[in-house]
Amino acid sequence: MTDEARPYFPMFVDISHKKVVVVGAGTIAKRRIRTLVDFTENLTVIAPEVNPELLELQSQGKILILKKQYQREDIYDADLVIAATNDHQTNEDIYSVCKCMGITVNVCSDKNKCDFYFPGIVRKDNLVVGITASGNNHKAARETSDRIRELLNQPEQ
């Protein structure tokens, strides 16, 4: 089986005390942040501008926002980094730093620069279901997430 045809292994990891850094605050970053706040108590967002939704999460104590441009030093002590900026060079730099320092990284704009992928997530209490189509069929993954959500009587997130 080729790497392209090989499905991804589902792995559930405790990140509750891990330092997670999201660089960027756009649409994709916000989706990742919304997901991550339920799984870690140490989530930092680095972006020069953020929207009211993220400011509200900070006021609730769920995230820390550093309103600034990314600098390499910002991720040196991270355990997990999400590169979700709209700047290719910045995302590339984040990826390089993480690889050199052994930090788990996900570059949202480049499937080949991800140590892990975000599944579609459906939660009900302590039940967590992750769905992926191995990056090949987002529509199928979304439809499956919706069907599982219906089974669990959960509203869309």
Q: Of all residues in the chain, what percent carry a pLDDT higher than 90?
A: 72
Question: Which run of H or of E encompasses 59?
Answer: helix 52-59
* Relative orientation angle of helices 27-36 and 52-59, to the nearest 10 degrees: 20
Reported confidence tier of residue 156, pLDDT bands at 50, 70, 90: low
pLDDT bucket at 5, cuts 50 / 70 / 90:
low
Q: What is the pLDDT of residue 152?
A: 87
Q: What is the mean pLDDT of residues 58-78?
A: 97
First to last CA, the chain: 35
Is residue 82 over pLDDT 60?
yes
pLDDT at 44 over 80: yes
**Where do the domains of the chain lie?**
20-113, 120-151
Specify the 3-state DSSP secondary structure of 144. helix
Instruction: Check residue 10 and give its pLDDT.
Output: 82
In whole angstroms, how far apart are CA 109 and each of 22, 36, 87? 13, 18, 10
Which tokens hold the place of 116?
């892990």
Residue 1 has pLDDT above 70, yes or no: no
Under CATH, to which class is 20-113 assigned? alpha beta
Mean pLDDT of the chain: 91
- Residue 70 phi/psi, 5° resolution? -60, 140
- pLDDT, one tens digit per residue, over 97-153 is 999 999 999 999 998 899 988 888 998 888 999 998 877 788 998 899 999 999 987
